[in-house]
Structure 1
Amino acid sequence: RLFDLPFLFSSLKAVDTFIQSDSGKGLLKVMEPQGYTGLGYWSSGLKQFSANKPLLVPSDANGLKFRVQTSDVAVAMIEAMGASAQKLAFKEVYGALQTGVVDGQENSWSNIYTQKFFEVQDGVTETNHQLLAYLLVTSTEWLNGLDPEIRDQFTKIVDEVTIAANGAVADTEAKNRQNILDAGGKIRELNAEQRKAWVDAMAPVWTRFEGDIGKDLIDAAVAANGTN
């Protein structure tokens, strides 16, 4: 839920700073009671909004329907915009946008480009509002059952692959952002005042989930922005 909070991170560098911190590494252990060990976070970039009309401030989304992933935080975020959330499978998004089942969606630059969502939207608003990432996990029993030397080699390789993969995300996202423009898509950038309007609109979402996530953890994530 932490990574679902809107406008939590200012950049992918801030994300990297947090996940390498003690607080970020501590999150890898949250599934141990269920028998799983976290090995790392694989980032797919920051999310942007798109819709069938221009989105510059949250009120522009009033009354629209947005496709979201299965996340109560994402639903709360959409509702804070005065819009309604529709949970749909990823493979159904293009058709839903094309036929008007939903009016907009949120995704990384790479997904927006490769799935051609921009073709059936008025434009994409560069909000960088939420992280799209995945937690890599394995069975704790299996991991602990490995020979110590093999286990060390395994985790070292996973760490190296994770660093390399996350390091390539920024370049891939920038490339696909440009690909959208080259293909005739429209991208809208927010000025400082407009961005503040988005951040302010999402404050109630933070308040709603602060007790569940933990204020200390949120503060640690926010602090990562100040070092980048």
Structure 2
Amino acid sequence: MKKSTSTFTCPLKSIAKLATIATILAASFNVFAEPVEIKFSHVVAENTPKGQMALKFKELIEQRLPGEYVVNVFPNSQLFGDNNELAALLLNDVQFVAPSLSKFERFTKKLQIFDLPFLFENMAAVDRFQQSDSGQKLLNAMNRKGLVGLGYLHNGMKQFSANDPLALPKDANGKKFRIMASDVIAAQFDAVGAIPVKKPFSEVFTLLQTRAIDGQENTWSNTYSMKFYEVQSHITESNHGVLDYMVVTSNTFWKGLPADKRAIFKSSLDEAIALGNKIAAEKDNQDRQAIIDSKRSELVTLAPAARLQWVNAMKPVWAKFEDQIGKDMIDAAQAANTK
């Protein structure tokens, strides 16, 4: 009798069918997968340049990567305040923040350049410096500390406000001013005999309203959107410093993005920042005029001789921080004033 030698063979057609089914199932899982949540936290109102920039970024990402990512924006310190948002970023509790440049002091001393009083003549000079090789180099100054700088966002030039007119440096003597956590800004107020008080941005209105502090420094946009002008009788148009932000993420999150997605995130952010900067320039004039029209706060304009007194009183702060910032950086910033 002939012994049977038949064996089981899987037809090629069956293999092809199984492969097709597997592909369909994989596609189905992708279709029904939850989009990745991206949290963007900031401390100002939605109607500010930063607030509008963040909303534009959300719009672009959800438009260009539909179903893959959803960007949730948390304004007005809803999620984190300006004293803990960077720690939250490094813990991946939030993926994007845009702190004022002063907030990076503990990660790099180089960015203190933007806090030096009377360094930049106007926002055009600030922009020229930021787009220069020196300015772009500063975006990478915190890579070793886990932070990736993605772009500069403008707010505007800073003005002094107080419960009394600040016409000359001596008028600030003995007064308490809220400042961000910045050694340079603290030294700026020390130079005129004032008392710098480091407090979160979200507390400023209440501190002014209750007279726990006498004054503060801020841009027209922030002063208007946060209604500081309603609880300050005088604003000095000093244009003594710049308040800008840097949009940052963590190395961990940024490197974790696929290269093609990372490129879309960067281009979307560049576009959103360009919009934010355009709005900042427009709002600077609009909000200044709105404050004047409100008649809630009196505008103090500095005559050239009075302004020179402020400059002479505060400019020595530059030398105090020159070693930390770098003379080459300060020279590059000054050069941006003359182009």
Q: Give 1:195-210 correspondences, 5 Å limit.
A: 195-210=307-322
**Moved >4 Å (runs of 4+):** none
Unpaired runs of at least 5, structure 2: 1-111
Aligned length: 227
The one of 215, 220, 223 aligned to 2:335: 223
Partner of 1:38: 149
Partner residue in 1 for 2:135: 24
Distance in structure 1 (CA, Å) of the matches to 2:139 and 2:150: 7
Amino acid across the alignment from 1:20: Q
| Equivalent residue in structure 2 for 1:183, among 294, 300, 309 | 294
| Partner Cα distance (1:93, 1:141) in 2 | 33
Residue in structure 2 matching 1:88, options 186, 196, 199 = 199
Q: Choose 19-28 or 109-118, whichever is displaced more.
A: 109-118
RMSD: 1.5
Secondary structure of the 1:47 match is strand
SS at match of 1:225: coil
Partner in structure 2 of residue 161 of structure 1: 272
1:49 Cα deviation after fit:
0.2
Cα distance in 1, alignment partners of residues 225 and 280 from structure 2: 15
Identify the residue that residue 100 of structure 1 maps to in structure 2: 211
Unaligned runs of 5+ in 1: none
Q: Does 1:194 align with 2:321?
A: no
- Greater radius of gyration (CA): 2
In 1, Cα distance between the equivalents of 2:206 and 2:164?
17
TM-score of the two chains, using structure 2 as the length reference: 0.64
Higher relative contact order (CA 8 A, sep 6+): 1
Contact 2:118/2:315 (8 A) holds in 1: no
Q: Quick check: 1:70 aligned with 2:181? A: yes
1:144-183 alpha-carbon deviations (Å, 9 max, x no partner): 3444333333222222221221122111111110110111
CA distance in 1 between counterparts of 2:307 and 2:192 reads 13
Counterpart position of 1:132: 243
CA drift at 1:98: 2.5
**Closer, same or farther in 2 for the Cα pair 1:101/1:219, shift >3 Å?**
same
